[in-house]
Amino acid sequence: MEMALETDRLELRRFTTGDADGLTALDTDPEVMRFLGSVRSQAEIAAEVLPRLMACHGRHPGLGYWAARVRGDGELVGWFGLRPVIPCGSPVDDWPDAPTGEVAVATLGYRLRRSAWGRGYATEGARALVRRAFLELGISTVVATTMAVNTRSRRVLEKAGLRHVRTLHLHWPDPLPGNEYGDVEYELRRDEWQSLPR
């Protein structure tokens, strides 16, 4: 299995069909999905979510979504991703996927099981992908978004070097608790990242 990268404590590799159970455990946990929307069914995860996560690598070598596990442990603890996008005037969540070819902007994403929370894994994986984006992939800007009330995720983005650029108040058909405080967008440009202390 191709290993995308290793950090001090994590191994990130491409998803396989064998990750369906681990992904189901992640996406059916109401606390994990608290700021993301409805809990998904096992059938939806196997038929739609996992194939979508796996397909990105074929269109954009070096970018995509990676299953994460603690080094020396086979259990899936979550995932990290860099999705290539085309910036436009709408919120980051609505930016379309970039076509195959040269990519300048990528969205950073991650999701971890509750058992992995509070251990610094999200920051470690996010920093590793930001580094890869700028040093290996030639990405000019990394962006991310979350709900304003998701303070844990906001802190991870800040520790990875991203800075808050705007707060949006969007109208969702079925808003989540905390929606009234808005959604926040974060950004980090390569030239800014190069000047950060490491």
| pLDDT tens-digit map of 106-125 | 999 999 999 999 999 999 99
Query: What sign does the CA torsion over 181, 49, 85, 140 have?
Result: positive
pLDDT band at 1 (very low <50, low <70, confident <90, very high): very low
Over its C-alpha atoms, the chain yields an Rg (Å, rounded) of: 16
Query: Which domains does the chain show, CATH number per domain?
Result: 3-194 (3.40.630.30)
For the cut 70, the answer to whether the pLDDT of residue 3 exceeds it is no
The answer for residues whose C-beta is within 8 angstroms of residue 43's C-beta and 6 or more apart is none
What pLDDT digit, counting tens, does each position of 46-70 carry? 888 899 888 887 788 889 999 999 9
pTM for this predicted structure: 0.92
For the cut 60, the answer to whether the pLDDT of residue 96 exceeds it is yes
pLDDT at 102: 76
For the cut 50, the answer to whether the pLDDT of residue 32 exceeds it is yes
Helices (H), the chain: 20-27, 42-44, 50-59, 121-135, 151-159, 190-194
Burial class (CB in 10 A: 0-12, 13-18, 19+), 108: buried
Q: Return the structure tokens found at 64.
A: 């995509």
